[in-house]
Amino acid sequence: MSTVANQTGAEAPVKKEKLLEMYRRMQMIRQFEEQVNELYTRALMPGLAHLYIGEEAVAVGICEALNVDDYITSTHRGHGHCVAKGASPDRMFAELLGKEAGYCKGKGGSMHIADPATGNLGANAIVAGSAGIATGAAFSAKHAGKGQVAVCFFGEGALGQGVVYEVMNLAALWKLPVIYVCENNLYTEYTHFSETLAGDLLQRGTAFGVPSEAVDGQDVMAVNNVAKRMIARARAGEGPSFLVCNTYRYTGHHVGDINREYYRSKQEEQEWKTSRDPIKLLTKWLTEQGHASTEELSGIAQEVAAEMKAAVEFAIASPYPAIDKVAQDVYA
Amino acid sequence: MPESTTKTASATRELTFAQAVNEALAEEMRRDKRVCILGEDVAEAGTPFKVLSGLVQEFGVERVIDTPISEAGFTGVGVGAAMTGMRPVVDIMFGDFLTLTMDQMVNQAAKVHYMSGGKWKVPMVLRTTLGASRRSAAQHSQSLHAWFSHVPGLKVVMPSTPWDAKGLLKSAIRDENPVVFFEDKMMYKLKGPVPAEEYTIPFGVADVKREGEDITLVATSSMVQVALEAAELLEAVGISAEVIDPRTMWPLDEKALIESAKKTSRVMVIDEGYERYGVTAEIASVIAEGAFFDLEAPVKRLGAMHVPIPFSPPLEDVTVPTGPGVFAAAKKLCGKS
């Protein structure tokens, strides 16, 4: 049951259009997060944010395999999931700045972006806080019988929370169409996961009879392949899956976590950025396989840069919500 | 369908509190296919209190769903299911187990609507129990409704009669928000009239259970029955007590409570939750702020003692308000010793 799927592009071929869309979405996430860091550094963003840089292949590889009406739940490190599921950067930036034009009218902020139009049930600032919600969405999906699935994204830190195992047990018993995606970026805030998690990660799924796999989370094609299989299984009514994506968080736990040498070395960070970067790996594969030229890809990157610049300007220029909105939306 | 806020109806039947709850669920499940029940031993067992007996036979195991003993897990499933089109009624067998659901209710259910800028909503009901005096000791006897009343985004309902239980539960299931519905275990066998025709009771509307002139007894859930018993005792000594039941802790019918306080000029608040930092404190404060210049005496509170509920019967019996206890305190408040 536990197999390792990391053979790049080993399964059904993906059309060029889709490949370039995945590249674009990964660029969007990378550049979105760079802009977030810039907004923080320039003191234009209230509060903090948790950047997804380095993990782009996970969100994009999985969300590319989903339909718009499939559900996702996200985490405090959630900007990548939102972008990958189809959210617009301008309204995301507006939310991060607490503006009325934001996805949640400025009431949610970085850690709570939600968007029914793209099936995004919301990012969650409680570690493992959305495990129940994602499983509940899968419960509804099964009841509705339209073949929708739910993807529950969480970090390896969430494997310390009991509710994850409660809902995995339920999902397995009831054959719910949910995929539990654990992004193992190696660090639970400021602590290496080997100090917080005992035993084998995959066995946490297999214990419930849930098919469980690990995948190279830097390889978007590998992630996409295994995601497609797990999603097809869920849609067919065969129940949940558990996927561990091995990845790396390039930056700190949040934008203010600058000095990190007490928990990991600069050399380690550099090694991932140099040889395990998901965008570099995809660029190399796309060009080597003849799917795209370097010029084509850098053209996409430039388009994304222009889009991000405009999106940031939109957010900065947007008004804050009126004060009298403070008590609105407490009750439906 | 009539919204009933009074005790008038063309025809009524005698039902137990448990039967009234059961009937509300059955009617709503017949009306709306999205309504389902999730909880421990809710199907064939019909819960240890047998409140749900017969529902699985009518609606099947697809809608009356036995869960593992995973309160956080299945409450979370309820939240997600509610967000995506279902109308789940989550059953938490003992109110003491609410501690296990707190993140799902307080950080998730209560906040989803606000955090999403009004885009997602959580139309779910969490039914649970409260109340001591069953000789069940400290982890099966608490009344923890104050915790949920404290949290914006939740509504909290505490019926005191079969009539109210049915009408309020139907409203709870139709509400677009997460509603926590507390049933006192000791009242399940309490009988009372319930309209034969269909009805609902709106939230935020207090009900005067007994009219009086000299003192207002504000009481919640089974403490309404305790207050009514005390009112009988008070009448025998010439004190006319009004008993008013807010029925929902939130929304709270502040106007009706203040009006009754102004009318009688003396108020006691009786609730089975812990007195300290509890529902009685909030209601006493609402009345003090709204009726201060009409009061003859400070508002008196009676709640559970600040101790874990003990097992030993003589000890347990002194921890929560009783009819004679309310009678004695009310008499004193009226200047009669």
Answer whether B80 touches A (CB < 8 Å): yes
What percentage of chain A exceeds 90 in pLDDT? 96
What is the CA angle B29-B31-B34, rounded to 5? 55
CA–CA min distance B174, chain A (Å)? 12
The pLDDT tens digits of the residues spanning B148-189 come to: 999 999 999 999 999 999 999 999 999 999 999 999 999 999
> Peptide bond before B159: cis, by omega within 30 degrees of 0?
no
Mean pLDDT over A238-248 rounds to: 98
pLDDT value at residue B55: 98
Q: Does A3 have pLDDT greater than 90? A: no
Q: What is the CATH number of the domain that holds B237?
A: 3.40.50.920
Reported confidence tier of residue A2, pLDDT bands at 50, 70, 90: very low
Q: Considering the domain boundaries, does residue B122 fall inside one?
A: yes
- pLDDT at position B4: 58
Mark which of B175, B195, B215 sits at the end of a domain: B195
Give per-residue pLDDT as tens, A83-98: 999 999 999 999 999 9
Going by C-beta distance under 8 Å and a sequence separation of 6 or more, which residues neighbour residue A198?
Answer: none
B221, part of any domain? yes
* Residue A26 near residue A79, CB atoms below 8 Å: no
- In B, which residues are within 8 Å of A331 by CB distance? 113, 153, 155, 176-177
User: How many helices, marked H, and strands, marked E, lie in chain A?
Assistant: 11, 8
What pLDDT score was predicted for residue B5?
53
| pLDDT tens-place string over residues B20-69 | 999 999 999 999 999 999 999 999 999 999 999 999 999 999 999 999 99
Q: Is residue B261 assigned to a domain?
A: yes
Residue B211 pLDDT exceeds 50: yes
Please check whether residue B82 touches A, CB under 8 A: yes
Q: What is the dihedral of CA A84, A86, A89, A93, to 10 degrees?
A: -80
- Cross-chain Cβ contact A132/B84 below 8 Å: no
On whether both B84 and B177 belong to a single domain, the answer is: yes
Mean pLDDT, range A121-126, rounded to an integer: 97
Q: How confident is the model at residue A12 (pLDDT cuts 50, 70, 90)?
A: low
What percent of chain B is predicted at pLDDT more than 90? 96
Cβ proximity of A212 and A180 under 8 Å: no
Q: For the full predicted model, state whether its pTM sits above 0.90.
A: yes
Share of chain A above pLDDT 70, in %: 96
Cα distance between residue B91 and residue B93, in whole Å: 6
| Residue B8 belongs to some domain of the structure | no
Q: Is the pLDDT of residue A298 over 60?
A: yes
Do B260 and B167 belong to one domain?
no
Report yes or no: B184 and B191 within 8 Å, Cβ to Cβ. Answer: no
Q: Which residue of A has its CA nearest to B175?
A: A332
- Overall average pLDDT of the A205-218 stretch: 98
Judge whether residue A1 has pLDDT over 50: no
pLDDT value for A9: 45
Q: Please check whether residue B105 touches A, CB under 8 A.
A: no
Nearest residue of B to residue A138, measured between CA atoms: B81
Q: What are φ and ψ of residue A150, in 5° steps?
A: -125, 140
Residue B3 placed within a domain: no
**DSSP label of A286:** H
> How far is residue B29's CA from residue B40's CA, in Å, rounded to a whole number?
19
State whether B73 and A170 contact (CB < 8 Å). Answer: yes
Residue of A nearest to B153 (CA): A330
Same domain, B171 and B216: no
The per-residue pLDDT of chain B, averaged, comes to 96
Q: Architecture of A3-317 per CATH?
A: 3-Layer(aba) Sandwich (3.40)
Provide the Cα torsion B32, B33, B34, B35; round to 10°: 70
- Asked if residue B241 and residue B107 are part of one domain, the reply reads no
CA dihedral B261, B263, B266, B269 (to 10 degrees): -30
Using alpha carbons, list the distances in angstroms from residue A79 to A51, A73, B12, B155, B199: 7, 12, 57, 32, 47
The CATH number assigned to the domain holding B23 equals 3.40.50.970
B166 and B276, same domain (yes or no):
no
The residue count of chain A comes to: 332
Segment A161-177, tens digit of pLDDT:
999 999 999 999 999 99
**Would you say B214 and B239 are in contact if contact means Cβ atoms under 8 Å apart?**
yes
A-interface mutation test, from B79, B84, B99, B154, most A Cβ less than 10 A away: B84
Determine, yes or no, domain membership for B201.
no
Residue B32 within any structural domain of the chain: yes
Q: What is the mean pLDDT of the segment spanning A186-193?
A: 97
Residue B243 lies in a domain: yes
- Segment A29-45 shows an average pLDDT of 97
> Could you give the CA distance from residue B79 to residue B81 in angstroms, rounded to a whole number?
5
Q: Which residues of B are catalytic?
A: 140
pLDDT at B190 over 70: yes
Query: To which H or E segment does residue A158 belong?
Result: none
Residue A11 has pLDDT above 70, yes or no: no
Q: In terms of domains, do B140 and B277 share one? A: no
CB contact residues (below 8 A), chain B span 255-274, against chain A: none
Residue A10 has pLDDT above 60, yes or no: no
A298 Cβ contact list (under 8 Å, min separation 6): none
Distance CA B102, CA B87 (A): 20
Domain, as residue range, for B186? 15-195
Euclidean distance between CA atoms B223 and B167, whole angstroms: 19
Nearest to B116 among A108, A150, A162 (CB): A108
Q: How far is B92 from chain A (nearest CA, A)?
A: 15
Task: Measure the CA–CA gap between A201 and A212, rounded to whole angstroms.
Answer: 9
Q: Sheet containing B267-274: which strands, arranged edge to edge? A: B207-210, B241-245, B215-219, B267-274, B300-304
In a 3-state reduction of DSSP, which class is residue A242?
strand
Task: Using an 8 Å CB-CB cutoff, list chain A residues near B67.
Answer: 170
Are B214 and B99 contained in the same domain?
Answer: no
Q: Please name the member of B72, B84, B117 whose beta carbon is closest to the beta carbon of A137.
A: B84
pLDDT score of A14 more than 80: yes
DSSP string of A67-109, one letter each residue: -TTSEEE--SS-HHHHHHHT--HHHHHHHHTT-TTSTTTTSS-
The whole-angstrom separation of Cα A204 and Cα A71 is 23
> Do B220 and B152 reside in the same domain of the chain?
no
Q: What is the ipTM of this complex?
A: 0.95
Indicate the domain borders of chain A: 3-317
B296, B224: one domain:
yes
* Residue where one domain finishes, among candidates B137, B160, B195: B195
Mean pLDDT of chain A: 95
Q: How many CA atoms lie within 13 A of B83 on its CB side?
A: 36
Q: How many CB pairs lie under 8 A apart between chains A and B?
A: 147
Residues of B whose CB is below 8 A from A167: 70, 73, 76-77
Number of domains in chain B: 2
**Which are the contacts of B2, defined by CB distance < 8 A and separation ≥ 6?**
B197, B198, B199
State the pLDDT at residue A4: 37
pLDDT band at B226 (very low <50, low <70, confident <90, very high): very high
Residues B136 and B251 in one domain: no
